[in-house]
Amino acid sequence: MSCPVQHGSGGTVTLDPYVKDLRAEREILYAAGPITRVELPGGVTAWAATRHEVARATLTDPRLVKDVAYWDDLQQGRIPEAWPLMSTIPPAPTNLLGADGAEHKRLRLLTAKAFSARTVERLRPRIHELTNDLLDALEPRAHEPLDLKGEFAFKLPMSVIGELYGVDSAEHGHLRDMYVKFFSSVTSPEEFMETYATMERYYEDLIAEKLANPGDDLTTELLNAGENGDALTHLEVRGTLQVVVAAGHETTVNLLCNAVRALLAHPEQFDLVKQGKVGWDTVVEETLRFDPPTSNMVFRFATEDIEIGGETIRKGEALMTSYGAISRDRDEHGEDPHPDTFDLTRQKGRHISFGYGPHVCPGSHLARIEGQIALPLLFERFPDLKLAVPDGELENHPSIVVNSLKELPVLLRP
């Protein structure tokens, strides 16, 4: 097998930005573990945690922080200008994802109710309706190949986020279009700034609207959140709304696509679901383990030298969490069934694809509900759904961070 991932000098693993062979990359990273040096595009180097034990330890170690002020390579000008991964690193602690320590704890406490299972459970019936609406819209094209990612998996989580925000369903399309532009890799710097300004205005208007007309939604919950005289500033409400999309949209898109792909590629496993021997919750969990929506989460920075897994992360160095490799950990998931197989009957081990420790995903309940509702509705409506190209021809979006297919071409009614 030709392998785009290589061991460089001194045991450094070079990651392939084009993600030609993700499966091989996971195995190489795992084999290099439990913690290894990696080379990223642009010659930037970092550590990668590749096994459960080291991931759990590093994700709960207060000496590893999100604040880029601690990243020597950045502070000393060694990161290339316009380095593509820079956009995935939160610039300032105005939201959960980028904050540390006491500030992060404060934001988590203030946002806990807004993300609670109770708030999210309210959305269940709407997720059903939104899924069925999207499936209805696909009916006329059921006999021709279409991209299930673009037409379904991308649209549903954005509509659900729209519901969560408390925006009218007529506006879901606008929200979607804004983010398509925002995340596009072919947007010019001028277009990007324009989209950014549009988004700022959008969130300001949404906040003003919810202040005037409070609703049963996340935006209102965030505006009302407060304890002991402390409350979220409007900037922090905006930051939280933004991070919901940044952390919660593409990840959920990937969960849906990866589950469809895994079921179609493993008909004997899919039969267990069809026969009612395993539930859709198991499909969601095994997909999260087998094909985690985030391949590598960047970055945490060492505030002092840290000895772990037989290595020393030096003060000022960067560490990423390699969920793809972690999902192959034999110590956690055993050898039989092999972690590289999609097996809905597997008993051993628990994935940590939603993270671990203080930053653990507050949207996990919502993501799980979406998968558990959308996947059965999709396959009940289109029981003969199949890929329109061989699985081996599916291509990954070129990203070290997200585990995202470029497209998922299917035939709904072959």
What does the binding site for ligand HEM look like in residue numbers (CB under 6 A)?
96-97, 108, 243-244, 247-248, 251-252, 255, 293-294, 297, 353-355, 359, 361-363, 366-367
- With CB atoms as reference, the residue minimizing the distance to ligand HEM is 363
Characterize the bridge pairing of strands 45-49 and 318-321: parallel
Least distance to ligand HEM, CB of residue 154, Å: 14
Compare residues 333 and 359 and give the one whose CB is closer to ligand HEM. Answer: 359
For the chain, state the CA radius of gyration: 21
CA distance 72 to 79: 10
Nearest distance from C-beta of residue 303 to ligand HEM, angstroms = 16
CA distances to 126, 367, 400, 410 from 381, in Å: 18, 21, 34, 14
- Tell me how far CA of residue 219 lies from CA of 106, 245, 355, in angstroms: 18, 13, 24
Nearest CB to ligand HEM, comparing residues 244 and 412:
244
Task: Write out the DSSP string of 239-284.
Answer: HHHHHHHHHHHHHHHHHHHHHHHHHHH-HHHHHHHHTTSS-HHHHH
Count helices and strands in the chain by DSSP H and E runs = 17, 14
| Strand stretches in 304-355, DSSP E | 306-308, 311-313, 318-321
**Measured from the CB of residue 61, what is the shortest distance to ligand HEM in angstroms?**
12
Residue 306: strand pairing partners: 313
At closest approach, how far in Å is the CB of 369 from ligand HEM?
9
Q: Residue 55 or residue 146: which is nearer to ligand HEM going by CB?
A: 55
Q: At its nearest, how many Å lie between ligand HEM and the CB of residue 406? A: 19
Q: Which of 221, 293, 222 is nearest to 256 (CA)?
A: 293
Contact 23, 382 (CB under 8 A): no
> Tokens at residue 264, please?
């179609």
What does residue 294 show for φ and ψ, rounded to 5 degrees? -115, 120
Which of 356, 411 has the CB closer to ligand HEM?
Answer: 356
What is the enclosing helix (H) or strand (E) of 175? helix 172-183
User: Closest separation between CB of residue 16 and ligand HEM, Å?
Assistant: 21
Give the integer Cα–Cα distance in Å for 204 and 215: 16
CB of 102 to ligand HEM, least distance (A): 13
Distance of alpha carbon 321 from alpha carbon 326, whole angstroms: 8
